[in-house]
Amino acid sequence: MTEDRIRRHPILPITEKHSFAFYWRSEECLALEGETIAASLFANGVRIFGHHVKDGAPQGIFCANGQCAQCMVLVDGFPVKSCMELIRPGARVEPAEGLFPLPGAAGPASAPLPFREIEEIRVPVLIIGGGPAGLSAAIELGKLGIRTLLIDDKHRLGGKLVLQTHRFFGSMAAVYAGTRGIDIATILEREVRSLDPVEVWTQTPALAVFSDGKVGVLKEGRTYVLVSPEVLLTASGAREKNLAFPGNTLPGVYGAGAFQTLVNRDLVRAARRLFIVGGGNVGLIAGYHGLQAGISVAGLVEAMPECGGYKVHKDKLARFGVPIHTSHTIVSANGQEAVESVTIARIDDRFRIVPGTERSYACDTVLVAVGLDPVNEFHEKAMAFGLTAFVAGDAEEIAEASAAIFSGKIRGLEIARALGRNVGEISPEWYETAEILKSKPGGVITEQQPGVEEGVFPVLHCVQEIPCDPCTAVCPARLIEIDSSDIRKLPVFLSAREGKGCSGCEKCVAVCPGLAITLVDYRKDSEFPTVTIPYEFLEETIHPGDRAAVQDTEGNLLGNVEVQAVRAIKANDRTALIKVRAPAAYAKSIAGIRIQPAAESEPMEQYIERTTDDTIVCRCERVAAGAIRKLIREGARDVNQIKALTRASMGPCGAKTCTPLIRRLFREEGVPDNEVVEQSKRPLFLEVPLRVFAGLVAKEDDHAAK
């Protein structure tokens, strides 16, 4: 079998791990300790995890976050979600083919089954979710000596922070701006674990919030425990939105977060060439992460005339050589058993495809990055049952992780107050900062370049208001300023302060999270100044003496220039600085170096038309849009009715994946939201064998009893 692991990465440390054998079908494969089954399968080149019982459609990973059920496999005969379960030595993993046999009972029917009492515990605070918001709240509570139980369904704390190789935006003073997400996760986890009042249970999903105020959790994936908290904080993050298009369930179509999980957390090469749908921050950053991992990015489509994510993220991708197709949509993902290409087309101002503009691009992966929905079911239930409940981070409102860190901090103090602790007034400035960190990117101005062509100075290719300030904090002469009342304002370079000018220390170039600052130095040669450019790719991809294709902010090619030096010093924390010698005519316009050759993103000669119009809306039950649309046209307004007649939303994901798509079909048919009756929510938020609630004692490695 091929081995698809990432062995070198410009940012992520690759540590030696103990390896062992497991079996996929009867074939022996190699796994690394501590990785999920899905990661082991991907690392061994397996992309198809089974076939659907209804129509034999191939199934593969979709969310990699425990939210859907597409990655189901059989391990030693028992069905498990491969993205959530860790691989074990010698495990026999089989594809989940059609209607696989149900696992047998844990013991002979005649023998008495070993049951135990369900443990019940009381805690002042239960936090669901160990991501940026949950960890920050736990730190505040722990520092105040308040006993807190923090649970997370993953085997690692940090939530989405552990996927982020880039430096964070936001405020340096408030939320670690300028530090990489992966490092923020380590800082927060270390602090939480150092606080005695905080107890942490990983691999512990919350299953349900009950009307008696108890929360059912599956401790370490095996023991059912009822937790009675005085206060519940839901910080369970977000799930990715789905999109309906022909071919949307082919293995190889998955959420951008799933891709980041496989690449940045599990260090597997999840794709050879990918195409991204959606120009928000998640899609743009996933493209950057792909390039860093040595994966080609054939392009990105965004239906709106402009990308919704930060312009600095979009500019980075464009400069590296990734075409951004705005006012375009995905027409289909194409292939028989897995993705082989994608077809896109231009759309008009009413989002209709413009005939004749279809193009196909070869790729093996399509990333769906069309937004996030809050995972807020626990909070909704808690409120409905009258618990003292708070919500923070993406579960409250979708925003950047920096905003989640800050909202967690605030909720921590609010909870302390709710428990009667005297924490004083929470400063109104904190609430203001929280709002600023949540703000959407502002308008774009035309880039202003310094008028001078002498000495040395930074060029700030930052032309959109976003909350971000690290460049101001690192300048030793304080020559970069942002309006102190609002870090969303654009940074301004002052040529001198108190008689001191720029010394060319390069700190601002290295720290900018958007890689949007260069330094132009005319001191040695005014006709061919030296330009210092930030670079976060493997060092061996660029050497002194190479010719580098340099581009402006928007990704337009300026010329090919000589690389003079590559500086990778510890103080710059894995951001290398590349010095090029460039003609004065465009030195100040240089914003970056092209990474990807144009051939990686050229369209195929002919576009591929996918014949099926049966776009799947409910992927668990394989229900197509046509069947649901027909019922809506016949007058159905109650989703429960649609559910009963088609089985849409009755699958193992608990309708988490298809509910937004069904809502969209109603809207497309002109039915206003207030006329639609929502389906009843399931009391449990996760699939779990009923024996868990009965307290059947699990033996070591006994999946049946789990």
Interacting residues toward ligand FES by CB under 6 A: 618-621, 648-651, 653, 655, 657-658
Phi-psi region of 652 (alpha: psi -120 to 50; beta: other; left: phi over 0): alpha
Q: How large is the C-alpha radius of gyration of the chain?
A: 26
* 10/66 with CB nearer ligand FES: 66
* 319/656 with CB nearer ligand FES: 656
Minimum distance from CB of 214 to ligand FES (Å)?
27
* 461/619 with CB nearer ligand FES: 619
Minimum distance from CB of 82 to ligand FES (Å)?
16
d(CA 157, CA 95): 29
What is the three-class DSSP state of 511? helix
DSSP string, 619-666: TTTTEEHHHHHHHHHTT--BHHHHHHHH-TT-STTTTTTTHHHHHHHH
For CA atoms 424, 430, 435, 438, the dihedral sign is: negative
* 221/654 with CB nearer ligand FES: 654
The percent of the chain in helix, strand and coil, each rounded to the nearest 5, is 25, 25, 50
Q: Residue 154's closest CA among 20, 79, 265?
A: 265
* 264/679 with CB nearer ligand FES: 679
DSSP string, 408-471: HHHHHHHHHHHTT----PPPHHHHHHHHHHHPPP--B-PPPPPS--SSEEEEE---B--SB-HH
- Write out the two tokens for 154: 């993953």
* 154/643 with CB nearer ligand FES: 643
* 288/666 with CB nearer ligand FES: 666
Distances (CA, A) of 111 to 106, 114, 446, 632, 690: 10, 9, 77, 52, 19
Give the sheet arrangement for strand 328-334, strand by strand: 328-334, 341-346, 359-362
Query: Is residue 647 classed exposed, middle or buried when 0-12, 13-18 and 19+ CB atoms within 10 A define those classes?
Result: middle
* 153/536 with CB nearer ligand FES: 153
* 136/649 with CB nearer ligand FES: 649
Minimum distance from CB of 692 to ligand FES (Å)?
21
Minimum distance from CB of 289 to ligand FES (Å)?
26
Query: Is residue 98 classed exposed, middle or buried when 0-12, 13-18 and 19+ CB atoms within 10 A define those classes?
Result: exposed
Minimum distance from CB of 97 to ligand FES (Å)?
19
Minimum distance from CB of 69 to ligand FES (Å)?
7
* 181/651 with CB nearer ligand FES: 651
d(CA 161, CA 174): 16
Minimum distance from CB of 447 to ligand FES (Å)?
45
d(CA 398, CA 515): 24
Amino acid at 95: P
d(CA 475, CA 495): 12
Minimum distance from CB of 56 to ligand FES (Å)?
18
- Write out the two tokens for 87: 């691989």
Minimum distance from CB of 704 to ligand FES (Å)?
24
Minimum distance from CB of 292 to ligand FES (Å)?
32
- State the virtual CA torsion across 638, 643, 644, 645 in degrees, nearest 10: 90
Minimum distance from CB of 647 to ligand FES (Å)?
8
* 233/658 with CB nearer ligand FES: 658
- Write out the two tokens for 286: 């996933």
